[in-house]
Amino acid sequence: MGKKPILLLLVFFLTVCLSCATTPKDLSQLAFIFGRIESADGDMALETVDFISCSLHEKSESWEAYAHRQKGYFWLNDLKMGSYRAVRFSQRNWGLGGSSGSYYLLNKYGPGPFMVRIQKPGVYYMGTYKYGMNPKKLSVADVLLGTPATFSLVKVENDNPQEILEWILKNKISKKSPWYSIIEKTIKERSWINAEDTIKL
């Protein structure tokens, strides 16, 4: 193959790549979720929040949400229409004496509060929950054996979803992101959708 065909081929691939990179994302069938997990112990930091899709017809997919360790905020974007639930989250304190943590696993503790059924695009608020006990007081055996006392979340009634969303928008969402204007409008209109309402029969 001569130099000219190779050059034309390179130009073609470069054009395709640039086209893909600059094509705006279509959010007409996608959703953004956010929420907060507070700790009874101020030294604990949110480490991970994992979600899976729930479908009778398709294989489950999994996602790890973005999280702010100290504030306990979490968020996840570009979710397709469908049902989702948290299957795992953890908090950890890395101190001089080692680390201690608290964990939630769906298959060990049963259904948790973070579930949502997305039937239309938009911004969904998953709620704010707080541990009902000090995770540091749990023994290793309690956590490993999964006794009922090892996992307790209490819903925070005086929560502030606007504060959470404003912080995420200001600190974590690029102004170039197609989500920026959507979240900005959601805050202005206070039009987020409560995930809890989507799973009520």
**What is the pLDDT confidence band of residue 12, given thresholds at 50, 70 and 90?**
very low
The DSSP 8-state label assigned to residue 196 in this structure reads H
Q: What's the mean per-residue pLDDT of the chain?
A: 77
Give dist(CA 197, CA 201) in Å, integer. Answer: 9
* C-beta atoms surrounding 118 within 10 Å: 22
CA 88 to chain centre: 11
Q: Which amino acid is at 64?
A: E
Domain coordinates in residue numbering, the chain: 27-198
Token look-up 């696993």 returns 105
Token look-up 């769906």 returns 106
pLDDT digits (tens, 9 = 90+) for 110-129: 566 789 999 999 999 999 98
What's the pTM? 0.76
Q: Which amino acid is at 115?
A: M
Closest CA to 192 of 163, 170, 154: 163
